[in-house]
Amino acid sequence: MTTLNVLFLCTHNSARSILAEALLNHITHGASGTHFKAFSAGSSPSENQQPNPLALQVLQSAGIATDDLRSKNWDEFALPDAPHMDLVITVCDNAAGEVCPYWPGQPATAHWGYPDPSEVQGTDEERLAAFRNTLYMIQKRLQILVDLPAEKLQKTMLQHTAREISKDHA
């Protein structure tokens, strides 16, 4: 079985990238065929950054494990002993515009932008709804990715495939 390592990037690694990491690991756990191992990181998480509590709440409500989630700087994944990524996906416009570190193995890259649910103002329920909506939007794209035939996930095709998912399924 082939395993593809996917790194989701956002500025603070507290909401969108955390949601994507947890969700991809959840939907591919125990799946046959191509297996995905998801990671997440931020370009500039604050010193004591933690995953957003509302992101964790929405994941837990959906039955998705949150125990191993933590905010981390993307520099962790540029180190020599870091897992080599096959695909790096930015999930916020700020991270997409930043100069990324050199990723060992020259992974495919794509941008799947989502509005930041952390910026939604309103009642607790309105804020939770924003996180649920973001999780749903991420889930639509990830399901397409995991359902792809193996030939679409070959290194030579992965760049094109990941970018096409962004265009067609926003």
Element (H, E) at 9: strand 3-10
Out of 62, 78, 82, 100, which one is annotated catalytic? Answer: 100
What was the pLDDT predicted at 105? 75
* Residue 97, pLDDT score: 57
Is 10 catalytic? The answer is: yes
Under CATH, what is the fold of the domain 3-160? Rossmann fold (3.40.50)
Check: CB of residue 95 under 8 Å from CB of residue 110. no
The alpha carbon of 74 is separated from its chain's Cα centroid by a whole number of angstroms, namely 12
Q: In the chain, where are the structural domains located?
A: 3-160
Is residue 162 annotated as part of the catalytic site, yes or no? no
Ordered per-residue pLDDT tens for the chain, 170 residues: 578 999 999 988 999 999 999 999 999 876 656 689 999 999 888 888 899 999 999 999 999 999 999 999 988 888 888 899 999 999 986 655 556 666 677 788 888 989 999 999 999 999 999 999 999 999 999 999 998 888 888 776 777 788 888 775 55
Among this protein's residues, is 92 annotated catalytic? yes
- The reported pTM is 0.89
Query: 107, 100, 112, 48: which is closest to 74 by C-alpha?
Result: 100
Pairing of strands 3-10, 87-90: parallel
Q: Is the dihedral of CA 119, 92, 154, 106 positive or negative?
A: negative
Catalytic residue among 6, 7, 9, 10: 10
Strand 87-90 with 35-42, pairing = unpaired
Cβ-contact 31, 146 below 8 angstroms: yes
Q: Which of 92, 130, 142, 165 is catalytic?
A: 92
